Amino acid sequence: MSLLSVEDLQIRFRTGDGLIHAVNDVSFDMAEGQKLALVGESGSGKSQIALAIMGLLAKNAEVAGQVRFDGRDLLSLPASQLNALRAAQIALIFQDPMSSLNPYMTIERQLGEIVELHEGASRADARKRALEVMEAVRIPDAKNRLKAYPHEFSGGMRQRIVIAMALICRPRLILADEPTTALDVTVQAQIMALLDEIQRDLGTAVLLITHDLGVVAGFCDDTMVLYGGRVMEAAPTTAIFDAPGHPYTRGLLRAVPRITEGDVTLSAIPGSPPNQTAAPRACPFAPRCVDAIPACHDGLPEFREGRACIRPVEELT
Amino acid sequence: MFNYTLRRLLTVIPTLLVLIVFSFYLMRLAPGGPFTSEKPLPPAVMQNVLERYGMDQPLYVQLWTYIKNIVFHFDFGPSFAQKDRTVNDVIVQGFPVTLTYGFWSAVFVLVLGIPLGIIAALRHNSIWDYTMTGLAIFSQIFPNFVLAPILVLLFTLSWGLLPGGGWNGGQWEYIVMPAIALGTSYMAGVARLTRGSMLEVLNAPFILTARAKGLPERVIIWRHALKPALLPTLTYMGPVFVYMITGSVFIDVFFSTGGIGQDFIDGAYSRDYSMLLGLAILYSLLTFTLNLMLDLMYAWIDPKVRSSL
């Protein structure tokens, strides 16, 4: 049985402009210890999928479909049982370490309260665990920094603390929502290396949500590409990079600079992300697709053999 | 922290000096004086009176004597208008009264205003929220000079529950109505402010982090949201408490509590220079103390402020 199984997930938001169809018919499975990337540009609904798994969607959201974790349907779980899973079994790493830590609490308390809550640890034990986990994410001089507040740390160090928070209870699944986006490039690499190491030590499954294909390449076994809240392509990461099967994936890859290929002109995908106020009736990417044929504009493409495209791979440019 | 407090305390001295000098000259620039009356006094009598209060001296000498007396004898001088009373007497008698009901009024403002605001925020957009916000706006437009007569009308005249005025050594029955009349509109302000800031904090990313930890709602509110949500209220309460004390003039007059507000009014009418100056110094000291307390509380709540002190 898979650890996490998402089936036909739909997320809609009631807004002043009508219903926003943020996530449509998304299905995927994750095994224990698997590293899966969810790739998409901003607005593709990728963060909302993570929030839906945690049961943390905004109040104006409507969710349908199934999210099974270890056999239990998370979407219908009562709040108390969901709270028992959060951080203990499924942890979330947020994008912006500047705002996701409480500025009024010491690091020790912010880490310690998690083990106190989920494992009934005492203050002293919680402090010991906080220290351990701060050392695990390699915060220098951790012992003397337990009583420090978030503003006394740099961005990279804060993201290490956020990661420490996610692993303090050794969860089985970590949802990492753009964990490096807010950081400098050099710090990004350090953080990804840290995540990779921790993932290997704990055997935790990681769902990495990102817009950055470069981050995915070195880290994830499998990759899912989202567009307009819909899965465009899902395949092992190497296959995505070597033989992308969807025009959107190809477009994305052409927009990423690669050191190996010398002077290649980078190309942007023309057009802008789709308006999601109406339920999708056709391939959402069709209006921007270089390979689109008239048939693309009527009817949703079926998701088959890892891709949602009606055109055969050989015919794509 | 200790150095900071000391530094702040030392700045009182120059601030007070400037205040005294300015107020001293400003008051004397205004036409009239404590001994002007419709029927002028005979020049010989006037001369006597002026000599008695040292007003025959040049202004700078008067100012110097005034400051000297405060510094060396802690003596704020005799009242120019009230016979046989010194400013010290007036403050010693009146200030505790004003401070007492001002304190209880502040307690009323905080103990009612903060929970109302929090409840409204937690039940955002529910009937609770609307009722609370409506009531707050309604009571915020009630100035104390409208509310005080209404309270007396109800609690004294109709129901006979509370005495309509007086002080009687500060028994609680005599404190209730002055405290409520003084505090109600501020209480409404605190409720609305707390509601707004609580709503804002609950939308902060670090609250989402707290939820992702699996903490129950109660812990999220108490441990994570309350402190930051109270910061704006704290900022508001500092000056408000000063307004409450200095603006208690009407309450003193209406409820005959015998607080210093009455003396301040009388002093202004009769150009009682020493009384006005003495009370101005008292009010500014009060403002200063409260602001310092507020800043220290800020530092206690916000670690960023603490490390910058």
Q: What is the pLDDT of residue B222?
A: 93
Contact B209 A83 (CB under 8 A): no
How many Cβ pairs closer than 8 A exist between chain A and B?
A: 72
Residues in chain B whose Cβ is within 8 Å of chain A: 204-206, 208-216, 219, 223-224, 227-228, 301-304, 307
Average pLDDT over residues A168-178: 94
Contact B214 A102 (CB under 8 A): no
Q: Is A303 in CB contact (< 8 Å) with chain B?
A: no
Q: Is A143 in CB contact (< 8 Å) with chain B?
A: no
How far, CA to CA in Å, does A284 sit from each of A193, A272, A281, B261? Answer: 35, 11, 8, 73
Q: ipTM of the assembly?
A: 0.90
Q: Is B162 helix (H, G, I), strand (E, B) or coil?
A: coil
Distance from CA of B228 to the nearest CA of A (A): 7
Q: What is the pLDDT of residues A71-130, one digit of tens each?
A: 899 999 999 999 999 999 999 998 888 899 999 999 999 999 999 999 999 999 999 999
For residue B180, is pLDDT > 90?
yes
Average pLDDT over residues B111-120: 94
Closest residue in B to A90 (Cα) is B212
Q: Is A88 in CB contact (< 8 Å) with chain B?
A: yes
* pLDDT band, very low/low/confident/very high, at B48 (cuts 50, 70, 90): confident
Contact assessment for residue A146 and residue A106, using Cβ atoms and an 8 Å cutoff: yes
Q: Tokens representing B284?
A: 């500014």
Closest residue in B to A118 (Cα) is B214
CB proximity list for A153: less than 8 A, separation 6 or greater:
A107, A139, A145, A161
Distance from CA of B207 to the nearest CA of A (A): 8
Q: What is the pLDDT of residue B50?
A: 84
Q: What is the pLDDT of residues B119-155, one digit of tens each?
A: 999 999 899 999 999 999 988 888 888 999 999 999 9
pTM: 0.84
Distance from CA of A127 to the nearest CA of B (A): 17
What are the φ/ψ torsions at residue B210 (nearest 5 degrees)? -60, -40
Q: What is the pLDDT of residues A34-47, one digit of tens each?
A: 999 999 888 788 89
DSSP 8-class letter at B157: I
Looking at the DSSP bridge assignments, the partners of residue A30 are A4
* pLDDT band, very low/low/confident/very high, at A227 (cuts 50, 70, 90): very high
Residue among B123, B213, B304 with most chain A CBs within 10 A, to mutate: B213
**How far is it, in rounded angstroms, from Cα A93 to Cα A101?**
11
For residue A314, is pLDDT > 70?
yes
Least confident residue range of A30-39, A130-139, B31-40, B227-236 = B31-40
**How far is it, in rounded angstroms, from Cα B52 to Cα B46?**
10
Q: Tokens representing B90?
A: 């007036």
- A180-211 burial by CB neighbour count: b if 16+ within 10 A, else e? bebbeeebbebbbebbeebbeebebbbbbbbb
**How far is it, in rounded angstroms, from Cα A69 to Cα A78?**
14
Q: What is the pLDDT of residue A246?
A: 94
A104: chain B residues, CB-CB within 8 Å: 227-228, 301-303
Q: What is the pLDDT of residues B86-101, one digit of tens each?
A: 999 999 998 999 889 9
* Arithmetic mean of pLDDT over chain A: 90
Least confident residue range of A22-31, A304-313, B17-26, B76-85 = B76-85
Q: What is the pLDDT of residue B179?
A: 92
Contact B228 A104 (CB under 8 A): yes
Q: What is the pLDDT of residue A272?
A: 82
